[in-house]
Amino acid sequence: MRVTLLSYTKDAERLCSSAARSCYSSKGAEELMERWNEEKMEGWLGTPLSGGHHSVLEHASYTFSIEGVSRAMTHQLVRHRIASYSQQSQRYVSMDHSHYILPPSVAEDKEAAEKFKKMMDSVWECYEYLVSRNVPAEDARYVLPNSCSTNITVTMNARELLHFLELRTCRRAQWEIREVAEEMLKLVREVSPFIFNNAGPSCISQGACKEGKMSCKNPRLDLKKQLSSE
């Protein structure tokens, strides 16, 4: 699995701060951006955000390349509707090599891992057979599993990204998308530290779990410690 921050809004914090300030100023955002400095960050951006006015964060966007993940993971990812996605096509890209993701819970069980591998070999043997019989790739792909490796490009604005990170860095998130989310969080904290300073599951971002009866009752102190040490 590899996550890369391909592109992002330069001066995102300056932009969002100025946009927020323009709501309460007779000056336009252009002049406010010229007057902006980091000392104004807390007042111009921190205050509106603490009051729940997160729409100003929609002016900034971040684009990621996510490679070597399973289709099972991307099926979860695309449920986050306020985002743009471009995924590797199984119709136009040949799947003639068995690239798949082996879950850790299977890998740690030797017998289960062997059975899993045999099933994958059988699936790709069937796929290659269908293609050799001139079955179109768009139809042959019907036999491919959720574990099939894929690449996807994702763009989210900062507001949606905060929401995504809150849900998907939670311990209750599926392991693969949680790993992806943690990598995304580390990357955006490097370029927009103020916006994402408190990002993460609600147990660390808000000091309380929002999962109710489904709570794991085990706050992500490990993630908080890891982020604070970077």
Give me the domain span that covers residue 194.
Answer: 2-85+150-228
Active site residue 133: no
* pLDDT (mean) for 51-73: 97
Mean pLDDT, rounded, for 194-202: 95
Q: SS3 helix, strand, coil % of the chain, rounded to 5?
A: 55, 15, 35
Do 62 and 27 lie in a common domain? yes
pLDDT for the residue 227: 86
Residue 44 has pLDDT above 80, yes or no: yes
Does 32 share its domain with 132? Answer: no
pLDDT of residue 68: 97
Contacts of 38 (CB under 8 A, 6+ apart): none
Residues 130 and 215 in one domain: no
Q: Is residue 81 pLDDT above 80, yes or no?
A: yes
Indicate which CATH number applies to the domain containing 64.
3.30.1360.170
Q: Which two tokens stand for residue 197?
A: 């300073």
On the question of pLDDT at 80 being above 90, the answer is: yes
3-state secondary structure of 151: strand
- Please give the pLDDT value at position 40: 86
**In a shared domain, residues 116 and 200:** no
Residues 216 and 164 in one domain: yes
What is the average pLDDT across 26-37?
Answer: 92
Give yes or no: residues 78 and 156 share one domain: yes
What is the pLDDT, as a whole number, of residue 226?
Answer: 87
pTM: 0.94
**Which residue in the list 168, 171, 178, 220 is annotated as catalytic?**
168
**Does residue 186 register a pLDDT over 90?**
yes
Considering 132, 147, 162, which residue would you say is the last residue of a domain? 147
Judge whether 178 and 73 are in contact, CB under 8 Å: no
| Cβ-Cβ contacts under 8 Å for 78 (sequence gap 6 or more) | 85, 87
Section 122-138 average pLDDT? 96
Beta bridge partners of residue 70, listed in sequence order: 149
| CA 177 – CA 175 distance, rounded (Å) | 6
- What pLDDT score was predicted for residue 98? 84
Grouping H, G, I as helix, E, B as strand and the rest as coil, residue 89 is coil
